[in-house]
Amino acid sequence: MGKVHVLMRKEDIDTKKIHGKIVVVFDVLLATSTIVAGLHHGAKEIIPVLHGEEALKEAENRDRNSFVLVGEYEGITLEGFLNPNPLALKEHIQKKTVILSTTNGTVAIRKASFAKHVYAASLLNGKAVARTLCTNHTSDTVILVCAGSAGEFSMEDFYGAGYVLDCLLSEQSCDWEMTDAALVAREFYRGARGCAEDILLSSRVGRMLQRFKMEEDIYFVAERGILDTVPYLDERKTLVKGGEGCYVGYTPS
């Protein structure tokens, strides 16, 4: 039987303890939603980096037409980068490598990269992520990591984790042992099942994004289970597209 736990912030990741475990990262507003939508809309791959300086270094010696730089820090678009806005990015990323720098989500993914496998999840692909876990990881320990924001708990990430847990426990084919944190996340979601937009809009990050006139993106990423893209981190530490039944067969060094 597999086991599921939830971490409330990326700062809670213990890089030694996650060896051999499965990690699913949530940054619903916005990094992991942008990653899911970007790969669904035709990006070749997405390279998560820690900050803008690392993004520029990653871009060195690449064909200028082969990639786009996308990034923000504390909600402000980095100079010379595109905003990580999932709807506006669609027209810029077709068949290109996206080098993505965000304040929380890409940092959480990089910190989780010592795990056996790493997936990126959001409300958009939550159902597909749950099916992937049931297909490939029923004997593993799965850690759902809420990225949080600036070291603080983020309600929208916790809601996303609860949604995936609810999907996971709805799958008849597998059983899971849930920690108390996982049980609470699922109950939080079930108590607000029909309130995804309200949860996102009322969160601290949601209120910040509204000040940047990004309501349309919030409404988009509040949609649940509409995409079957399941991004996973490959052996190059690059996020690539997988579907519901994807199997990740590499072992990080």
Summarised one tens digit per residue, pLDDT across range 54-93 is 999 999 999 999 999 999 999 899 999 999 999 999 999 9
pLDDT score of 60: 96
Q: Which of 154, 149, 114, 127 is nearest to 245 (CA)?
A: 127
Q: How far apart, in Å, are the Cα atoms of 179 and each of 4, 164, 183? A: 6, 15, 6
Quote the CA–CA distance of 23 and 197 in Å, as a whole number.
Answer: 26
pLDDT tens readout for residues 11-48 = 999 999 999 999 999 999 999 999 999 999 999 999 99
Q: Which CATH class for the 2-234 domain?
A: alpha beta
In the chain, % of residues over pLDDT 90: 91
Q: Where are the domains positioned within the chain?
A: 2-234
Tokens (6 digits) for 32: 């992991």
Read off the pTM: 0.94
Please give the DSSP secondary-structure letter assigned to residue 65. G
Cβ pair 152, 9 in contact under 8 A: yes
